[in-house]
Each structure stands twice: as C-alpha cells, then as structure tokens.
Amino acid sequence: MKDQKGDILHHIIVCMVRYSVTMDDDLVEKIDKICGSLAMSRSEWLNDLCIKHLDGAPGSGVQAMVSAVIPCESGPGHNMIDYGAAYANFSIDVPEYFNFGYDVIDRWAERDRNKLALIWVDQHGNEKKYSFRDLKNLSNGAANILLKYGIKRGDRVMLMLPRIPEWWIFVIALIKLGAVFCPCPTMLTPSDIKYRIRAGKFRMVITDYENAAK
C-alpha cells in the first residue's frame, strides 16, 4: 500500500512539475486533448487530479489518464526509514514574528548595502545585478504602490509575470505588507485565469502589458 501511494504521489509530482515548469509541447498537447474531451480547463484538470489522489475525494476518473500522459519510473526509494521516530524527534525554532522582507532582505541591506542579492540575465545575455539595498528600496516602492491601491494584510494577490526582476520585487513587497500572493505562469489561458480568480478570490492581479489582455 505504501508503494502504491508513493507511485501515485510520484505521478502527481511529475505531472505538475513537467506541466508547470518544463512545459513539454507534446505533454501540453495531450493534456489539452484530455481537457477538451472533459470540457475542463488545464487548471481544473490538475486540481481534480490532485484532489482525487491526495484527499481521496471523488474525482472525474482522470487517474487512469496520468499513466498514459506521463510514464512513471521507479525511484531509488524513500530517504525516511522511520517516520514515527522522525516525527517524534523533529523540532524547529520558529520566531514569534518573522517577515522575509524585513528580517532577511532589509536586514542584509542594513548590514552590507552593497552585498549582491540577485543576478538576472535575459535571453540575449544582458545582465542586471541587484544588491540587497536595491531590493529593499525597490520593494518599498512597490509596497507603497500596492498600499495606494488598497492592498493590505491578508489580501490575496495573483502575480502573473515572466521571469523578470520585477517578479521578486513585487513578491518581497507583498510579503512586507502581509498579503497572500499566488504566483502563476504566464502561459495560462483566459479560462485558466478566470478559474483561478474565482477560486482564489483575489483582490488584485499583477501582470505585464503582454498578458493584460487575457
């Protein structure tokens, strides 16, 4: 039973990683055919798949399709021999208050204003470097813009940007404000976006000019 559950989780993980990150063209074509036959969006199909296998809730029978879409290869096995012992002995020091934007980015900016934090390179090899002080100032500016438009602690914000420095700038800004951000890939279709907005109940969507029309 453990091996069977491990195989199912492996199927789901490989499916989500290959779909969301590598975006194999052949895989996308197969997924689109499945979604078309079920009258579902990609996001709905993946959500249904995860609920079916992770929660044991009734799904639409898509588990049989996973093997056809993504072959599962047996891995080297689990690295946890005794879960009970690992659970009993596990501990983590969690501070009462912690904010990545203030306690990491801004703290490093105060300690060493020139310390390198981010290197970004575009497809043509053009390079940009950002220090922690740069990220502190830019994220503070972004946070002020968000505050101007009414974003506050606990608000949900959908972030759909390509792999550009502004992605990190807005992420840090949202963390500083205590907002809940949901990163989304730019290849989402209008129906995918509509589904996520309805499910996530977002107060704001941050994207670029190229994807704004969606």
pLDDT tens-digit map of 80-98: 677 888 888 888 888 888 9
Task: Please answer whether residues 178 and 153 qualify as being in contact, where contact means their C-beta atoms are separated by less than 8 angstroms.
Answer: yes
Q: How far apart are CA 38 and CA 62, in angstroms?
A: 10
Q: How many CB atoms lie within 10 A of CB 96?
A: 4
The tens digit of pLDDT for each residue in 136-170 reads 999 999 999 999 999 999 999 999 999 999 999 99
Q: Which of 179, 183, 178 lies closest to 166, judged by CA?
A: 183
Residue 74, φ and ψ in degrees, nearest 5? -70, 135
Answer yes or no: do 41 and 132 share one domain: no
Please, is 82 exposed, middle or buried when counting C-beta atoms within 10 Å of its C-beta (0-12, 13-18, 19+)?
exposed
**Is the residue at 86 inside a domain?**
no
Q: What is the pLDDT of residue 79?
A: 66
Answer yes or no: do 195 and 109 share one domain: yes
Answer yes or no: do 105 and 208 share one domain: yes
The count of domains in the chain is 2
Answer yes or no: do 62 and 159 share one domain: no
Q: What is the pTM of this model?
A: 0.57
Q: What is the CA radius of gyration of the chain?
A: 21
Task: Please answer whether residues 129 and 116 qualify as being in contact, where contact means their C-beta atoms are separated by less than 8 angstroms.
Answer: yes
Which domain covers residue 61, as residue numbers?
2-69
